[in-house]
Amino acid sequence: MAPDLREFVRDVPDFPKPGILFRDLTPLMRDPDGWQEVIRQLTSVCERLQPDLIVGIESRGFIVGTALATAVQLGFVPVRKPGKLPGTVTGVDYALEYGSDRLEIHSDALADGSKVLIIDDLLATGGTAAACAELVAAAGGQLCGFGFVAELAALEGRRKLPDDQPVESLIIYS
């Protein structure tokens, strides 16, 4: 019987500021059975969507994405904050609740038109994942969907993602 992934998530009240309930996935990553179940379920997503590459969003998307890419024997492409990748990059600026941020990818990483699955640990407001989808298109890739370990549904992050793309979350908090 598969383990219930929620059992491995720690709730941390008032982090990073009062009134926020932080869903800490690190206990899930620490537990071999829980982590294997995450990768098993995301492998099933890959089997359905048939990506050529996994794209992971800095930083916890690197942890989930590289483990998944290894399990399904696909390449991994990092999407990073500005100034972290050497060489020529393609970037996209996006709005945050207060201010803006930027994501970058190597300009040649998706130049062959690869189908990519965007992976991250958590879908919250959706701004970063939506910006990553925009970045994938700008770099020449073809998006085939999104995969998240957890989703905070009350924040309606799915609404910011492209309507024509599947969004798979293993744990959904309402």
Residues noted as catalytic: 60, 97
Alpha carbon distance 128, 150 (integer Å): 15
Query: Rounded to the nearest 10 degrees, how much is the dihedral formed by the CA atoms of 158, 159, 161, 164?
Result: 100
Residue showing tokens 């910006």: 131
CA geometry: angle 137, 144, 32, nearest 5 deg: 115
Q: Minimal CA–CA distance to 147: which of 35, 66, 61, 79?
A: 61
Q: Is-contact 45 77, C-beta < 8 A? A: no
Q: Is-contact 5 171, C-beta < 8 A? A: yes
Alpha carbon distance 80, 149 (integer Å): 19
CA geometry: angle 58, 77, 102, nearest 5 deg: 40
